[in-house]
Structure 1
Amino acid sequence: MRYEARGVAFDHIYNPQIMKESLSREFNSSTIDDYDGVDVEYTDSKTWQKETVECRLPGDVGLRVDKIKLEGVTNRDRAWRIGMRQRRAHIYRRKTYGFSTELDALNSEYLAYAALGDNVPGYCQSGMMEEFAPMSGSFLIKSSQPFDWSAGGVHLVAVRRKNGTALGPYVATRIDDYRFTIPTLDFVPDLEGRSEPPVLQFGPEGRWCYPALITDVTPSGTASFKVSVVNYDVRVYADDDNFAPA
């Protein structure tokens, strides 16, 4: 399990080529009942007493506080950082997603970093790799679906390996609506029908996927799994290297 901020590389890809039904999306808007602070109780290494550190964002007044008790944490700064991450999650993790797959979801552990996709116009698209060919300094790929390049600017594509892990994203260079090149490919795709071909995830830079963290995988019947997901937002981790106020 990984809890730190993530980079550009994803663990897995889930999109309509794999999902058994459409991706569901929900946004939880703010209400008057939302928390406006976090208090973290821990055992301080200097006093060996229970201490509480307040974790606040600008504008928080602490009228409705989320209270956390930590075991095994004895450093005030560490306790504060944990509390600040929780406080930031209150603000920046408001989108939830859901989908179902066959056995594919078993690839993902708790909080795996996933690139999600659907077919909303102007955002991401998906397809299956139909052809590939090594070229000088790049690889030519053909998609089973035509991709929309009309947004202009940089477009990105990621490739799902056979084991479900994600490769990329890489800048895609258009040849036509079906074909493009990427700078590298670290495996030889099986396109002979012995297994499912690699899945492609494509779109304009900044809209090519929904970055998310897997929070739950639950069996549904004998060969299906329901997956619960929350949006990833790097701002949740903004205080990971900061220090508690004096």
Structure 2
Amino acid sequence: QVFRMADRYFPNATLLYNDDRRWWDFNGDYTPVYLLIRSLQEHGCRVGGLGLQFHMFDNFLHGEHESFLNPRTLFLCLDLYAKLGIPVNFSEVSIVSRRDLGDGDAFQELVTEKLYRLWFSHPAVSAVTWWNLVDGTAAYAPLGSEDGENSLRAGLVNYDFSPKPAFKVLEHLIKHEWHTETELDYEDGALNQFHGFYGMYEAEISTDSGTFSRTLELGRKNCNIFPLNLK
């Protein structure tokens, strides 16, 4: 009923099911979230994506890290949800740097890098959204305090906006490692191609007539063929 009503009043919106409970409880084709989405699809509901919340809250504190942080389980879940044929988003991510972990910042940095590499490597994953950007600003707690959810210290920057190690490791991955810069010499009549990460590119073409700039978008669903008219 909810999906049908949303589709009726918001026909151009992307409708997602966002799970915050047990998506990591893997049981093959009988995994509950998988069965739910399959049922919605079979009943004609327009499900445009699957959101997976990844908060290190009670599930981390009470021993569920054996599945919640297990790379094999995460890959099994992603392989299963990929069969639904819809984009998978890690819709809310909280990776803690709690003080009782010892060097909480180092823990957060390590886990952030490992998880982002895993998520980035899977073709079903289309987006990752970090939840609380700034420490000390979580819900239901005084600003700047370490009460409530703030005690998790799950931001990427400190309360004074200085970057934490996890911020720097993501900056390196996104701006350097998962970033493409290349040059090629044009050959008339040949297949002129390059391999790069999906995204927007600023192409600078130098000819005897001068230098031209063009914006290219390399996308998963694009044909990724770019005729260039330099006249």
TM-score class, shorter-chain normalisation, is under 0.3
Greater share of strand residues, 1 or 2? 1
Q: Which of 1 and 2 has higher RCO (CA within 8 Å, sep 6+)?
A: 1
TM-score by length of 1: 0.22
